[in-house]
Every structure is written in structure tokens, then in C-alpha cells.
Chain A
Amino acid sequence: MSSTARAAVSADSRRGRSRVSPAFWLILPSIVFMLFLFAYPMVEGIRAGFTSDLTGALTLDNWGRMVNDPYFTRAVRNTLLLIVVVIPVQFLFAIIMALLLQAKPRGTALYFYLWAIPLAISDLAAGLVWLSIFADQGYLNSVLVGFGLQPFSWLSYQSPGTQFLAVAMAEVWRATSLVLVIIVSGMQGIPKDYDEAAAVLGANYWQRLRHITLPLLKPSLQVALILRTILAFQTFAVAQALTGESFPLLVGETYRWYSALNNSNVASVYSLVIMAISMITAVAYLRILRDQSRQVAK
């Protein structure tokens, strides 16, 4: 296949050596668009991060203001903690859900629909949905009172533990579907033969899961992991909807510095930090993809 493609290419280049490939004209608009809306803002953002908002001179003050803000450490801690706790739970949950769907229960289509709904729900909406449950007079406290227990202020700033629990719960509810969809489509790509062969040779369900399904699912799991991690750094509206400003996250702080404190230079510094973290994740992502394609080539 590649040899015919190569032949076609060389024929093309022979015919029109003086002419630019039509592909160039087709991708040119997208490149111009991206340069204007990705590259330019990035350069502008880096510049803003290193200049003073008052004098316009080069300075590191913005970085100092960010680091010395009492919310900064908490925002970093909360963001990382949320990723460390929520993502493993989501993966465990999504793998179980995908395996259940693979067993084809009655009503698979309905289950898949219900489990995929949060895919199209924004993090703001998810936060508001769970607010109706965790609010002081919400449904969770109603259940507790129904069982004769004391209601509890889940979202109060005085109990950061339950604030975290509420945000984590809403995130698990909202973003597990993305992992689920990637895993289910990965499972569809695995030929049934391996599993059947192992079953014929006497492997039980757990052995087949451990030695057949999960290893073959590894590429999908890796992609889902990296995509989820990058997206998890951008979580903020869930926390805003549930707790207001008392549970700071990195993107929420950027928003606060930009809108409430009206300082877009410090906001730029925050966004540079988030960009750096995301880029590191993206590089890891690309490296893994490249290693995979090498393995396939072997």
C-alpha cells in the first residue's frame, strides 16, 4: 500500500514540480487561523506574565504576587489532589462499566445512553446538579434526617474535607463517561478470537481479563488517561458552583485574578503555569503514542 502511495506522490511531484500542491492551499487557512488564535495569544500571554501592569516594564512581580497569594498553595494542592483521587476512581469505574456493557445485559442501548449523558454536560451544570444534593437543605441531608441522623453542612468552608468530597463526587459523575466511551470503543477493536481461544484453553474470566482484555486495551487506557489528566487541570466551574470561592482550583484562581481582582497580568502568570503543566502532559502523551506506533511497526 505504501509503495503505491509513494509512487503516486512521486508521479505528482514529477508532473507539477513548479506548482504548489493543492493540499497546501487547503491547509493554509487552518494554519493562518491557528497562528492568529493560538501562537499570537501564547506570545502575548508570556509577555503579559513578565511585564508590570502599572509601568509596562519587564518584571517578575506577577510571579511573586501569585506565589505569595494565600490561595495559590491551596489551589495547587486542591487541583493535584483532585486529579490523584478522581482519575483512578474514574478509570476503575469506567472499566467496570465497559465490562458490564460487554456482557450485553438486556437493555444495553438504554444503559449506554444513560451512562453517556454526562458527556454533554458542562462542568458548571454538573456542579449545579450536585449542589441540589449537597446543599444544606438538599437531598443528601434530607436522606440523613429521614434516617434520624443529624444534617451536615457539606459545602461549608469550615469543612474542606467534605467540600473536596462533593467536588470529587461531581467530577466522577460528570467525566467518567469520556473514559467509558474511549474504553468501549477500544474494546470493540479487540478481536473476539483471543478471548474465545483463551476460554477454550481453560482460562477463567479473571485470567482472561488480566492477560487478554486489559493488555489489549492498554493503548485506549493510555490515551484516556492523558486526555483526562489534561482536562482535569481545567476543572473549575464544578467547584465554583458547589462551594463558591472557598475551594480554590488553579483555573478558578486565574478567573478570580482576571475578573474579581481585575489583574490580567497575574491571571496570565496563572495561565502560563497551567500551560506548562499541560504541555508536560502533552509531551508525555506524544511520546507514548510514538512508542506505540514503533511497536506496531515492529
Chain B
Amino acid sequence: MTTGTRTPVPVDLAPLRSYRRRRGLLQVACVIISAFMAVPIYLIAVAAFSTRAGLNQFPQPFYPANFGTETMSTFLSSTGITAGFINSMTVGIGTLLLSSLVGAPAGYAIARYMFRGKDSYQLFLLFTRALPIVVLSVPLARVFLAAQIYDRPVAVILLHSALALPTTILITSSVFLAVPVDAEEAARIFGCTPVGAFMRVVLPLALPGMAAASIFTFVMSWNEVLGATILTFSQRTLPAQVLSSLADSPLAYRFAGGLVLVIPALIFIAIMRKYLLNMWGTTIR
């Protein structure tokens, strides 16, 4: 190590400075966009946790100056909210069970078999995703009225499953494609039946992906409001209950309702961050 006492070479610092400036601008831009995304959520939280008197104040303070749980507890205890929450849970879980039950076998078939009409089947799936909810809801309401399941959670479960099915099939088929065929064949060679190989080898490997897919189904069902409102009258889901009582409810109710509907989104995205790009990014299209 003979570095010696070399005279320092003058270094041109300009590129470094311009690099630092660019990194700084990048951070500023990201912070501004993040503020646009996060501030509205912060503001609705402040509004939902203000006292009734605080909400009447003008100008509104931008920090929780009038903190109180009165607005929130009034909303939570108003008619139909607890029931709406339970209905939303029932519908969401029912939808993810039904759509996986019907969709997963089809996804498996697409991933593993070549069959005649496969292309037209996939085209059909893409096509159904373009059908708006409203097109199905209005006629289904008449059908369900006749079948006497109108205004029951099962009616909404059927509608939401139909909406989720194409996506479920496409996602599960990509999940099954990621499970190596070799593992399944090895199980067959060692004496498993086709069903046994599926249950013991494929399913455990596919389960994490399928769980992620079912959370997406749940979010879709949790957020869907138009069909749920049209297909129910008293057994509303949470968003349907909020929508149908919008016109004759005070601002405090709407703010509290807004926050209650937003909170699950924060949790869902936190859980699903890893899967976002795979599922909403590529498979969904």
C-alpha cells in the first residue's frame, strides 16, 4: 500500500451536483404526488373524528382541533349499518367461495389441457368482463323477484360471483401455470390418482396465489354498490346502505360513512402490495 502523498487531482463536481439536484427534484415530485393521494384521506379522517359542533365550524381546521368520536359513533349506531357490515361480509365471503368453486376448475383446465374451443372460451371470458354491472343488475332483479331470492344476500352473491368469475378463472389459470407439471407427474408416477395428485401436490402449491386472488374478489364485492343497491331493499350491504341513505342524511353521516368505506382499502392494499403488479397489473387485462 504505497499511496504516497499524491497531489489531489481537481475533480469536476458539476455532474455530481446535477445528479444530486435531479435526485432532489425526484423526491419533491414524489412527495407532491403522495400528498395528492394521501391528504384527502387524512382530511376525511379528521372530518369523521370531529364533534358535531366542530363540523359546523367555518373555516374548518386542518388538524383534529375538535376531536370527538360522536360523529363516528352516531354513524355506526344508525339503522342498517351493523346489519350492512354483516351483509357485506357475508356477500364478500360467499362471493369468493362461490367464484373459486366454479372458477378454479376452469382455471385449471385452461392451464393444463388443450381442448377444442379453448380460444373461443377465453375470448368469451374477456368479452364478459366488458359487460357493465348495470346491464346484469336490472334484469336480474326481475329474475330474482320471480325466484323469490330478491333482497337476500344470496342474490348479491350470485351477481358478484358472475362479475368476479372471468377474472377468477384468468387469475387461477395463471396460478396453476406457475405450478410445475413435473411435480404433478411425479405424484402420478408414485401412485396418486389425478384427484389425489391435485389435492396433495398442486393445491398446496397453488394456495397462496389462490388466496391472493380471492382477496381481490372480496375487494371487488366489498366495493360494488350499484348491483347491491338494485338487488336489495332491506338487506343492504354497507355501501348500498350508505348510497341509499345519502339523500336524507346529514354531512356528518356522509363523512363518517366515507371513512368507514376507505379504511378497508388501506388494509387490503397493505396486504396485497406484493401481488398488485402480478394481478391487477398483468393478469386482469
**Which residues of A are at the interface with B, using a C-beta cutoff of 8 A?**
5, 8-9, 12, 21-24, 26-27, 29-31, 33-34, 37-38, 40-42, 44-45, 48, 96-97, 100, 103, 105-107, 109-125, 127-133, 135, 137-139, 141-143, 145-146, 151, 173, 178, 181-182, 184-186, 188-189, 220, 223-224, 227, 230, 233-234, 236-237, 240-241, 244, 251, 254-255, 258-259, 264, 267-268, 270-272, 274-275, 278-279, 281-282, 285-286, 289
Supply 17 A–B pairs (Cβ within 8 Å), ascending by A: A26-B113, A33-B162, A37-B158, A37-B162, A38-B131, A103-B26, A115-B37, A124-B239, A128-B242, A141-B59, A151-B58, A173-B40, A185-B277, A189-B282, A274-B135, A278-B132, A286-B127
CB distance from A248 to the nearest CB of B (A): 14
B138 CB contact (under 8 Å) in A26, A184, A264: A264
B94 within 8 A of A: no
B190 within 8 A of A: no
CB distance from A174 to the nearest CB of B (A): 10
Do residues B115 and A122 form an inter-chain contact, with CB atoms below 8 A?
A: no
CB distance from B235 to the nearest CB of A (A): 15
CB distance from B252 to the nearest CB of A (A): 11
Do residues A41 and B139 form an inter-chain contact, with CB atoms below 8 A?
A: yes
Given A139-B62, A275-B132; A236-B226 close (CB under 8 Å):
yes
Report the bound CA distance from A112 to B141 in whole Å.
40
Q: Which 6 A-B pairs have the closest CB atoms?
A: A185-B281, A128-B258, A282-B130, A122-B223, A142-B59, A125-B261
Question: Nearest residue in A to B224 (C-beta to C-beta)?
Answer: A122
A sample of 17 more A-B contacts (CB under 8 A), given A34-B128, A234-B132, is A33-B161, A41-B143, A44-B143, A48-B138, A48-B139, A105-B27, A120-B223, A122-B222, A128-B255, A128-B257, A141-B58, A141-B59, A224-B285, A237-B239, A240-B246, A271-B137, A278-B135
B143 CB contact (under 8 Å) in A34, A40, A135: A40
Which of A27, A40, A42, A184 counts the most B-chain CB atoms under 10 A from its CB?
A: A27
Do residues A285 and B121 form an inter-chain contact, with CB atoms below 8 A?
A: no
Do residues A120 and B44 form an inter-chain contact, with CB atoms below 8 A?
A: no
**Which residues of B are at the interface with A, using a C-beta cutoff of 8 A?**
23, 26-27, 29-30, 33-34, 36-38, 40-41, 43-44, 47, 55-62, 102-103, 105-106, 108-110, 112-115, 118, 121, 123-124, 126-128, 130-143, 158-159, 161-162, 165, 169, 194, 219, 222-226, 229-230, 239, 242-244, 246-247, 251, 254-255, 257-258, 261-262, 264-266, 268-270, 272-273, 276-278, 280-282, 284-285
Do residues B103 and A30 form an inter-chain contact, with CB atoms below 8 A?
A: yes
B280 CB contact (under 8 Å) in A24, A41, A181, A281: A181
Report the bound CA distance from A234 to B130 in whole Å.
11
Do residues B27 and A45 form an inter-chain contact, with CB atoms below 8 A?
A: no
CB distance from A275 to the nearest CB of B (A): 4
CB contacts (< 8 Å) of A241 on chain B: these are 243, 246, 254, 258
CB contacts (< 8 Å) of B277 on chain A: these are 181, 184-185, 188
Question: Nearest residue in B to A145 (C-beta to C-beta)?
Answer: B59
Do residues B254 and A259 form an inter-chain contact, with CB atoms below 8 A?
A: no
Do residues B102 and A137 form an inter-chain contact, with CB atoms below 8 A?
A: no
Do residues A5 and B105 form an inter-chain contact, with CB atoms below 8 A?
A: no
CB contacts (< 8 Å) of B115 on chain A: these are 21, 23-24
Do residues A38 and B128 form an inter-chain contact, with CB atoms below 8 A?
A: yes
A23 CB contact (under 8 Å) in B36, B109, B226, B272: B109
CB distance from B204 to the nearest CB of A (A): 19
Do residues B23 and A105 form an inter-chain contact, with CB atoms below 8 A?
A: yes
A117 CB contact (under 8 Å) in B137, B243, B266: B266
Do residues B140 and A120 form an inter-chain contact, with CB atoms below 8 A?
A: no
Given A30-B106, A128-B44; A137-B58 close (CB under 8 Å):
yes
CB distance from A123 to the nearest CB of B (A): 8
Do residues A255 and B230 form an inter-chain contact, with CB atoms below 8 A?
A: yes
Do residues A42 and B251 form an inter-chain contact, with CB atoms below 8 A?
A: no
Report the bound CA distance from A183 to B32 in whole Å.
20
CB distance from B103 to the nearest CB of A (A): 6
Report the bound CA distance from A100 to B33 in whole Å.
10
CB contacts (< 8 Å) of A182 on chain B: these are 280-281, 284-285
Do residues A133 and B219 form an inter-chain contact, with CB atoms below 8 A?
A: no
CB contacts (< 8 Å) of A21 on chain B: these are 113, 115
CB contacts (< 8 Å) of B243 on chain A: these are 124, 237, 240-241
CB contacts (< 8 Å) of B41 on chain A: these are 117, 129
Do residues B162 and A268 form an inter-chain contact, with CB atoms below 8 A?
A: no
